[in-house]
Amino acid sequence: MAENIKVDIRSDFGKGFARRMRAESKIPAVLYGHGTEPVHLALPYHATALAARHSNALLELEIPNAENELAIIKDIQRHPLSRDILHIDLLIVKRGEKVEVDIPVTVEGEPQSPAVAVVDIQEITLLADALSLPEHIVVNVEGKVEGDAIYAGDLDLGDAELVTDPEFLVVSIQVPQVDEADLETPGSEDDEEAAEDAAEESSEGDDE
């Protein structure tokens, strides 16, 4: 379901203007697609940030003096430290249209101990209905054992089409390798000797 976002059209540009917009709790954005000229917008920060928590979020943009547009978030630029949103790219989509998107991989379930699930690629590229894009692709590893592997072609994608090479390894089940040196605790030999001495003393005391 699309999130309704009221937007403003902006005509000023530059870093100074962008900073002023952010000070007013607005996000600079550009809307493009379907052969149209790019439109520069200002989005309300709070509502947009909430929607942007979901990958490939679908927005219905209420544009002044124009028809509403459906768009998906294609790219988000964030501040490297605060992670605040600095800029957003929006792609126009139409009802019934299929779009190519990258969908994150999520693992659920637990493989048989001591094996663990290792995610080999973080995202899968799909061609999917613009109005029903999956938020993530779930890979179930419940009961899997060491050596098991899940490839892109093994995934249940519903009505979506796989764009990623089906031979790409998505999740592998492995047993972590432990260095024997890591298992040795400093002073462990001394502890063993002390324990042996204590046992001998105890034994001698019992014999007396």
What is the per-residue pLDDT across 125-147, written as a single tens digit (0 to 9) for each?
999 999 889 899 999 999 999 99
Q: What does the H/E/C string look like for 4-59?
A: EEECEECCCCCHHHHHHHHHCCEEEEEEEECCEEEEEEEEEHHHHHHHCCCCCCEE
What is the per-residue pLDDT across 29-87, written as a single tens digit (0 to 9) for each?
999 998 889 999 999 999 999 999 988 889 999 999 888 999 999 999 999 999 999 99
Task: Please indicate whether residue 22 or residue 140 has the higher confidence score (pLDDT).
Answer: 140
Helix (H, G, I), strand (E, B) or coil at 110: coil
DSSP output for 126-139: EEEETTS--S-EEE
Take residue 170 and report the two structure tokens written for it. Answer: 């998505």
Q: Residue 17 has what pLDDT?
A: 73
What's the half-sphere exposure (Cβ side, CA atoms, 13 Å) at 63? 18
List, in sequence order, every residue forming a beta bridge with 1; answer none if it has no partner: none
Could you give the CA distance from residue 91 to residue 70 in angstroms, rounded to a whole number? 8
pLDDT value at 19 more than 90: no
The answer to whether residues 170 and 152 touch, using CB atoms and an 8 Å cutoff, is yes
What is the per-residue pLDDT across 8-17, written as a single tens digit (0 to 9) for each?
998 776 677 7
Q: What is the mean pLDDT of the chain?
A: 86
The number of residues in the chain equals 208
List, in sequence order, every residue forming a beta bridge with 61; answer none if it has no partner: 5, 69
Could you give the CA distance from residue 139 to residue 98 in angstroms, rounded to a whole number? 23
Task: Please indicate whether residue 19 or residue 149 has the higher confidence score (pLDDT).
Answer: 149
- Tokens 């002390």 -> residue: 194
At residue 152 the predicted structure's pLDDT band, cuts being 50, 70 and 90, is: very high
Could you give the CA distance from residue 91 to residue 65 in angstroms, rounded to a whole number? 20
Q: Residue 192 has what pLDDT?
A: 53
Could you give the CA distance from residue 15 to residue 29 in angstroms, rounded to a whole number? 13
The contacts found for 64-73 with CB under 8 angstroms, 24 or more apart, are: 64/7, 64/8, 64/9, 69/31, 70/2, 70/94, 70/95, 70/130, 70/131, 71/31, 71/33, 72/99, 72/101, 72/130, 72/133
At residue 185 the predicted structure's pLDDT band, cuts being 50, 70 and 90, is: low
* Mean pLDDT along residues 134-163: 94
Q: Which region among 122-131, 135-144, 178-187, 190-199 has the lowest average model confidence (pLDDT)?
A: 190-199
Q: Residue 204 has what pLDDT?
A: 45
pLDDT value at 203 more than 50: no
* Mean pLDDT along residues 144-151: 96
At residue 18 the predicted structure's pLDDT band, cuts being 50, 70 and 90, is: confident
The model carries a pTM of 0.73
Task: Please indicate whether residue 74 or residue 22 has the higher confidence score (pLDDT).
Answer: 74
Could you give the CA distance from residue 69 to residue 100 in angstroms, rounded to a whole number? 19
Take residue 146 and report the two structure tokens written for it. Answer: 């060491």
pLDDT value at 188 more than 70: no
